[in-house]
Amino acid sequence: MHRRTFIQNTVFTFGALTLAQKNLLSSFFVDPWKITMLTNDIGIFSEKGGTIAFLLSKKGIVVVDSQFPEQSKHLIDELKKKSEKPFSLLINTHHHGDHSSGNISFKGIVDHVLAHENSLKNQKNVAVANKSEDKQLYPDQTYTDTWCQKFGKENICLHYFGAGHTNGDSFVHFQHANIVHCGDLVFNRRHPYVDRAAGANMKNWMQVLDKALNKFDAKTKYVFGHAGAGYEVTGKADELNKFRDYLGSVLKFAESEIKAGKTKEELLKTTIIPGGEEWKTDGIQRPLTAAWEELTLK
Ligand SMILES: [Zn+2]
Ligand SMILES: [Zn+2]
């Protein structure tokens, strides 16, 4: 039966189905996730949470970030169709749940989990506070400044340039392909979450982005943790420059409002959007709150 005919014949009874049945029926037609190959062996996976990247090497599969348990199961099933190799390494760009709570789906099937040492500390702190330690698969390997390892023809390097979105964010560089996963160090035209409780610092974040722009080159392709509606989760140096300038605009705006004697509440009610037209979306209160705290609290 053709899909359209099937839908037409089914539409009258669709309302009578349970939610589980509807989900099952929908799943026959549209996968809730999307896989985009960037090269022959490196791709990205998007469903719910921070963008995932993966490498299908002859030595084994490497995955960067894991979204949530259900999403990482989808990813694992799809990658098993693409490769018969084992899962060698799971990397977390940082500890946030939309990047690491899917780790648990890799339990028993991945050789190692790797993150910056502060990312591991942050993940543990949050899990202990939320009493969710049984739902975690923690990194068994950590690093401090730089970490590199070869996987077939690809060489993967992690770089830590200091506190930004948290105090434990890595850039993950696939050197041969010249692709860098930025995790949440870059929100492409989307107001970022600034996790001050986990050591985030907006001023330093700008320097972290400058270090990345110096380290990588004009041909580097970047993968972003998140993007605003209508924008891509991949891009070039231009997006890093734009995001750094946006962080600067938010800080500068908050500073001038503080100097003008405005209260925090007045600042958050502003209709002026620092960063310009491209940032006219919901959520400016998050970075403005962080900027206010960074500039006024010691
Ligand atoms: Zn995220
Ligand atoms: Zn994050």
Residue 64, beta-bridge partner list: 53, 91
Which of the ligands is closest to the CA of residue 66?
1
Which of the ligands is closest to the CA of residue 170?
2
Which of the ligands is closest to the CA of residue 166?
2
* Centre of ligand 2 from the C-alpha of residue 184, in Å: 5
* Centre of ligand 2 from the C-alpha of residue 116, in Å: 14
* Centre of ligand 2 from the C-alpha of residue 94, in Å: 7
Can you say whether the dihedral through the CA atoms of 236, 73, 68, 87 is positive or negative? Answer: negative
pLDDT at position 3 is 46
CA trace torsion 251, 257, 263, 269 (10° rounding): -80
Cα–Cα distance measured from residue 279 to residue 191, given in angstroms and rounded to the nearest whole number: 7
In tens digits, the chain (298 residues) has pLDDT values of 444 444 444 444 555 667 676 666 655 667 799 999 999 999 999 999 999 999 999 999 999 999 999 999 999 999 999 999 999 999 999 999 999 999 999 999 999 999 999 999 999 999 999 999 999 999 999 999 999 999 999 999 999 999 999 999 999 999 999 999 999 999 999 999 999 999 999 999 999 999 999 999 999 999 999 999 999 999 999 999 999 999 999 999 999 999 999 999 999 998 888 888 888 888 999 999 999 999 998 6
* Centre of ligand 2 from the C-alpha of residue 100, in Å: 10
* Centre of ligand 1 from the C-alpha of residue 224, in Å: 9
First vs last C-alpha separation in the chain:
67
* Centre of ligand 1 from the C-alpha of residue 50, in Å: 5
pLDDT at position 276 is 84
- Residue 246 near residue 275 (C-beta atoms within 8 A): yes
Compute CA distances 9 → 5, 12, 23, whole Å: 6, 7, 18
DSSP structure string for 73-138: HHHHHHHHHH--S-EEEEE-SS--HHHHGGGGGGTTTEEEEEEEHHHHHHHHHHHHHTT-GGG---
Model's pTM, two decimal places? 0.90
pLDDT at position 30 is 74
Cα–Cα distance measured from residue 51 to residue 140, given in angstroms and rounded to the nearest whole number: 22
* Centre of ligand 2 from the C-alpha of residue 13, in Å: 42
3-state DSSP assignment of residue 239: helix
Pairing type for strands 52-56 and 61-64 reads antiparallel
* Centre of ligand 2 from the C-alpha of residue 137, in Å: 17
Q: Which two tokens stand for residue 263?
A: 């209260």
Q: Which residue has the tokens 């500890």?
A: 95
* Centre of ligand 1 from the C-alpha of residue 226, in Å: 6
Residue 219, beta-bridge partner list: none
Walk across the sheet containing 34-37 and list its strands: 34-37, 42-46, 52-56, 61-64, 87-91, 110-116, 141-143
Long-range contacts of 254-257 (CB under 8 A, 24+ apart): 254/288, 254/291, 254/292, 254/295, 255/291, 255/295
Cα–Cα distance measured from residue 101 to residue 164, given in angstroms and rounded to the nearest whole number: 21
Q: Which two tokens stand for residue 100?
A: 């690491």
* Centre of ligand 2 from the C-alpha of residue 92, in Å: 11
Single-letter amino acid, residue 47: E
Which of the ligands is closest to the CA of residue 50?
1
